[in-house]
Amino acid sequence: MTGDANDRSVVRRGRFSGGPADEFVSSLAADERTFAADLAVDRAHVVMLAEQGIVDADTAGAILAALDDVEAAGHAALPAGEDVHEAIETAVVERVGPDGGRMHTARSRNDEVAACIRLRLRTDLLAAVEATLDLRATLSSVAEAEVETVMPGFTHLQPAQPTTVGHWALSYERAVARDTDRLLAAVDRTNASPLGAAAFAGTTFDVDRERVATLLGFDRVLSNAADAVTARDFLLEATAALSTHAVTLSGVAEDLVVFASRGFVEVDDAYASTSSIMPQKVNPDTLELVRAVAGDAAGDLNALLTTLKGLPRAYNRDLQRATGHSWDAVDAVTAATEVTAGAVATADWPADALAAAAGDGFSTATGVADLLAAAGVPFRTAHEVVARAAETADGTPDRETLAAAAEAVLGESLSAYVDAAALEVALDPVESVATRDSPGGPAPSAVADALDRATTGLDEDRTALAERRDTLAAADERLRDAVEVYHA
């Protein structure tokens, strides 16, 4: 072997050498996910090199044609390599000859890999955002349909106050809306270009970092070259946003599992399974899997935090093992979001059973205390009156029991404070819900107002998603046009 720079074996030696650790070291199989991203990064870089006069137009044309050919052959046809970046370069050199190696002028796999991950992740995150929007639409539909459907509300899993299915559904819509917001923020911080950073210390070539960023639809350039190749905080932020959303989903899932166990909701058969031994069973276990995804995503986030902590500046190979955690999280959480939307959309809320249970456990007690407080009794004293009545009654206390408690605590008759009709309203679950019409409350009027705001927010977020996708589609076209200039 000579020291000829045109000899590819020289280039390859010491990188991916047929040694015993090759399989352990290689990320080529996992890199299938960034195959298309790497081709785009290669194209944008080569176009920029040609535009800057760093590579001549003919060579650029030959490399760009080879990239088309590599794309058509597909990831599975790539030669063996340490990773997709090296394998595509090798495949280009195989087609173009040594001049193909000019593609790697003024860059390193360090800025290359970071660009590829960001490129792919932003698209995957936008799909996750879309799934949250669809789930919000579903929750809002349920809220609209079940705005009057009174159900028991729980704290500590104990009957607490009557509420409505609509209010329950909107409570999750609000949480998912914040999840959407966090995911969009993660998209925007992910969408920055590390290209032109090279290994970490920039390059002697007159590169145009802004041009490459524009061709690839990145919103901006990461200014410091060492930061650009090192930074994986975008993985942390994305995975944290996904984990947070998974926790929201796990709440929806857990509520539905608990409600189903009490006969308060019927989960559609498509989201349930039967028992292999107990013929009568229909288990809402799809939702149990949703609940478990929150654990997986938290594991991915923890793995990332642990892998990234204490790494020195610039590229370290640990980073290769970090990436997969974000792919796992985005795949699992997006799928869980879609499945949750399906389960919620098809669930049945048995109004009669819910209404019958809504008053269980003297769930209207707070409303009775509110009534006394509104009549001038300090709330803490009113609480004491109603608590005393609850202690003596079996279930919801009747008028006499409440009157006796009022006598005992206040030394005055109940009727001095509340009239009989108002007390009936307070004791009735349906009427009691209707009176809780403070902003954000469960009264049908309050839920209807909240629903209007949720619909506006959803429309705004759909626009935000469409804008980002339009920007990326425009960049795809820009890159295609720029490449076209060099095609013979």
Closest listed residue to residue 259, CA positions, set 336, 145, 366, 343:
343
Q: Given 275, 413, 415, 445, which residue is catalytic?
A: 275
- Dihedral through CA 234, CA 327, CA 140, CA 470, nearest 10? 70
Report in angstroms how near the CB of residue 217 gets to ligand ARG at its nearest. 21
Give 203 or 320: the residue with its C-beta nearer to ligand ARG. Answer: 320
275 part of the active site: yes
Neighbour tally for 460: CB within 10 Å: 11
Binding site for ligand ARG (CB under 6 A): 27, 83, 85, 109-110, 113, 315, 317, 319-320, 323
Please state, in angstroms and rounded to a whole number, the distance separating the CA atoms of residues 135 and 340: 7
Per DSSP, 266 falls in state: B
Closest listed residue to residue 96, CA positions, set 130, 68, 133:
68
Report in angstroms how near the CB of residue 317 gets to ligand ARG at its nearest. 6
What angle, rounded to 10 degrees, do the helices at 420-427 and 365-374 form? 150
Report in angstroms how near the CB of residue 98 gets to ligand ARG at its nearest. 22
Within its chain, how far is the Cα of 159 from the centroid? Answer: 32
DSSP string, 110-140: HHHHHHHHHHHHHHHHHHHHHHHHHHHHHHH
Q: Is the dihedral of CA 389, 391, 392, 393 positive or negative?
A: positive
Give 316 or 435: the residue with its C-beta nearer to ligand ARG. Answer: 316
Q: Are 226 and 201 in contact (CB under 8 A)?
A: yes
CA distances to 121, 132, 295 from 303, in Å: 18, 24, 12
Please state, in angstroms and rounded to a whole number, the distance separating the CA atoms of residues 353 and 364: 17
Q: Which residues contact 374 (CB under 8 A, 6 or more apart)?
A: none
**3-class secondary structure per residue, 319-381:** HHHHHHHHHHHHHHHHHHHHHHHHHHHHCECCHHHHHHHHCCCCCCHHHHHHHHHHCCCCHHH
- Return the ∠ at Cα 264 (arms to 156 and 296), rounded to 5°: 60
User: What one-letter code names the amino acid at 391?
Assistant: E
156 part of the active site: yes
Report in angstroms how near the CB of residue 121 gets to ligand ARG at its nearest. 13
Report in angstroms how near the CB of residue 91 gets to ligand ARG at its nearest. 16
Give 38 or 370: the residue with its C-beta nearer to ligand ARG. Answer: 38
Report in angstroms how near the CB of residue 326 gets to ligand ARG at its nearest. 12
Report in angstroms how near the CB of residue 313 gets to ligand ARG at its nearest. 14
Give 317 or 380: the residue with its C-beta nearer to ligand ARG. Answer: 317
Report in angstroms how near the CB of residue 59 gets to ligand ARG at its nearest. 24
Phi, psi (deg, nearest 5) at residue 15: -100, -65
**What is the token pair recorded at 68?**
């088309």
Q: Is the dihedral of CA 253, 254, 256, 257 positive or negative?
A: positive
SS3 230: helix
Give 318 or 460: the residue with its C-beta nearer to ligand ARG. Answer: 318
Neighbour tally for 220: CB within 10 Å: 13
Q: Which residues contact 308 (CB under 8 A, 6 or more apart)?
A: 232, 235, 236, 318, 322
Report in angstroms how near the CB of residue 334 gets to ligand ARG at its nearest. 22
Give 85 or 325: the residue with its C-beta nearer to ligand ARG. Answer: 85
Please state, in angstroms and rounded to a whole number, the distance separating the CA atoms of residues 389 and 402: 5
Give 180 or 320: the residue with its C-beta nearer to ligand ARG. Answer: 320
Give 27 or 59: the residue with its C-beta nearer to ligand ARG. Answer: 27
Give 322 or 390: the residue with its C-beta nearer to ligand ARG. Answer: 322
**Active-site residue numbers?**
156, 275
